[in-house]
Amino acid sequence: RGLRQPGRAGVVTLAMEAGPPPPLEPSALPTFTEEGFGDKFLRKTRENPLVPLGCLCTVGVLAYGLLSFRKGNTRRSQLMMRARVVAQGFTFAALLGGMVVTAIKSRQ
């Protein structure tokens, strides 16, 4: 059967004449250093400093609101709880903005 189709025999013959493929050179594997919590925190803070700032503002406003609530100043406590929501929104927006910037940098 193989003799009836000379096209196939020609392809096999050409492949055999080319010889074996060249050996693949082993590529060097990348090396990674172990990054601790402090190093990672500092690196992430440098990449997007608005997120830790927003977290600190949120915690500060929350603590002040809880102190006001404990002292019985309900008006100030409510105001601080609303300010906490604004601070959380700022933190979330900063986090999203950082993710967008990182995605754009990785595409370039």
pLDDT tens digits, 22-36: 777 777 777 878 889
- Listed in sequence order, the residues at least 6 apart from 32 whose beta carbon sits closer than 8 Å to its beta carbon are none
pLDDT tens digits, 40-70: 989 888 888 899 999 999 999 999 999 999 9
User: DSSP 3-state assignment of 52?
Assistant: helix
Distance CA 42, CA 44 (A): 6
Higher pLDDT, 5 or 32: 32
Query: What pLDDT score does 88 carry?
Result: 96
Asked whether the whole model's pTM tops 0.75, one would answer: no
Q: Structure tokens of 10? A: 């020609």
> How many other C-beta atoms lie within 10 A of the C-beta of residue 78?
13
Distance CA 79, CA 76 (A): 5
Query: What pLDDT score does 2 carry?
Result: 46
